[in-house]
Structure 1
Amino acid sequence: MPLLPRRFERLKAVLDRRMGDLTVLLEQVDKPHNLSAILRSCDAVGVLEAHVVSMAGRTPTFNCTSKGSEKWVPLHRHPSTAEALRQLKAQGLRLYGTHLSVDAIDYRDCDFTGPTAFLLGAEKWGLSEEAIELVDQPIVIPMLGMVQSLNVSVATATLLFEALRQRQAAGSLPSQGEGVDPQRYGRMLFEWAYPEVAAWCNRQGRPYPALDGEGAISETLPRNVRLRH
């Protein structure tokens, strides 16, 4: 079934507002409910992609809480925290880790308008010592009650929406796709529009076909390639 033009415009409008310089790294956050809720918040804010370091032998899974957001926010798995942080720092991201310490500052006193990555750990034990050593700035979300921490998905949403608020106030939110590398933008738009064709192209080792202005594929594909979107 061909992609309807209005659906294509919807996909473009969402991708146009994605931010490649705002992300989260989740360390051993393996509960499906929490992971699903976090990706849903990432999608709502306009985060391009998220990152995770899972416990040994665990594979990230999702439930209905995500509302399908895992289709729109790629979740990249890393073998270790050190490797994940090295990659994020290489991208020029400043690393903010949620950790209650003497060096931690109120998250509202931070500037999240620049390239930003939030690090959050599992609720039982928080960030690892390795992560704490490598973050640029530990941060806290002040609590007024008896409990001294939020659910990890709620904490992530709080931080992401503060970053969104700051960027809106600064007038720096992307609106025409400038938040995504142009080559990456084209690939993601095709994958969003035609995931099954994208998978077939990847298996064949061939580039994605071009799309016309209304989102239709501009070449004839084999009849056995399904155009479901």
Structure 2
Amino acid sequence: MSPERFARINEMLDNRQPDLTICLDQVHKNNNIAALVRTADAVGIHQVHAVWPDPAMWVSGNTASGSQQWVKTHKYQDIHQALDVIQGQGMQIVTTGMTPDAVDYRELDYTKPTAFVLGHERDGVSECATSRADYHITIPMVGMVQSLNVSVAAALLMYEAQSQRLAAGMYGQRKLDDAYCHKMLFENGHPIYAKACRRKSLPYPELDEHGQIAADDDWWAQMRQVQPTEV
């Protein structure tokens, strides 16, 4: 792993916001899913939640143009399961929609643990998600159309959250646990060795301050050992 890549991955990990997320309530078009995941990565979102009753909707290896290796997608069969998990993590649930109590999206405090729920391209957020939300928000519009593309609306919300959190000094402070960070650094800095570790059931070794493998002789000996399936 080059020093530049090691520094870049560490910078990414330092800016991840584990208490900020999005929940896709049956968003199903590949171009929208790709845009949503890419934007989530761009603002430092650590993981997203997706309600996809049909397994055929699940994100494929190239749907998000590589963003899926940095942003974990948790999949659910229904919105109740997703919201139970999210609320169990202490996050406020924020949904979009023209409900009577909806407020301008810029009025809420997103420095609090927050999950944005984005709805189906045609039907919007489900009634279940709307009923369980802590807040309903709207994006002011003065043109003839009444709604934005879901990925565009989500980008506005995520960047508003990022703006508030930047102002509050919430970026640049590592909040993820060491084990996860080590896994991300090793798998994305040494992918060939990571694949070999998984194949041989070896633990990932430590990395030094430059991102280079700092393993003992026994680990290297096991790494060099040829298994019957590799002959």
TM-score, length of structure 1 as denominator length: 0.87
Partner of 2:27: 29
Matched, 1:128 2:126: yes
Deviation at residue 147 of structure 1 after TM alignment: 0.9
Q: Which amino acid aligns with 1:23?
A: T
How does 1:143-158 map onto structure 2 within 5 Å? 143-158=141-156
Q: Is 2:41 the counterpart of 1:43?
A: yes
Q: How far, CA to CA, are the matches of 1:200 and 1:70 in structure 2?
A: 21
Q: What is the CA–CA distance in structure 2 between the aligned matches of 1:204 and 1:65, rounded to whole Å?
A: 29
5+ long unaligned stretches in structure 1: none
The aligned counterpart of 1:212 is 208
Name the structure 2 match of 1:182. 178
Instruction: Tell me how far apart the structure 2 counterparts of residues 85 and 167 of structure 1 sit (CA, whole Å).
Output: 23
Question: Is the counterpart of residue 112 in structure 1 residue 122 in structure 2?
Answer: no
Which whole-Å deviations, capped at 9, do the CAs of 1:70-116 have from their partners, x for residues lacking one?
22111111222111111111111111011210121111110001111
In structure 1, give the amino acid aligned to 2:133.
V
Match of 1:100 among 75, 98, 101: 98
Any unmatched runs of 5+ in structure 2?
227-231
Whether the 8 Å contact between 1:37 and 1:65 is mirrored in structure 2 is no
Distance (whole Å) between structure 1 residues aligned to residue 129 and residue 191 of structure 2: 35
Q: For the residues of structure 1 that align with 2:75 and 2:62, how far apart are their CA atoms?
A: 21
> Highest CA radius of gyration, 1 or 2?
2
RMSD: 2.2
Q: Could you tell me the percent identity over the aligned residues? A: 43
Q: Runs of at least 4 residues of structure 1 off by over 4 A? A: 62-65, 202-206
Return the letter of the residue paired with 1:16.
D
- Structure scoring higher RCO (CA < 8 A, sep ≥ 6) equals 1
Does structure 1 conserve the Cα–Cα contact (< 8 Å) formed by 2:95 and 2:136? yes
Deviation at 1:170, TM superposition (A): 1.8
What TM-score, normalized to structure 2? 0.87
Partner of 1:142: 140
Between the two proteins, the alignment pairs up a number of residues equal to 221
Structure-2 residue corresponding to 1:222: 223
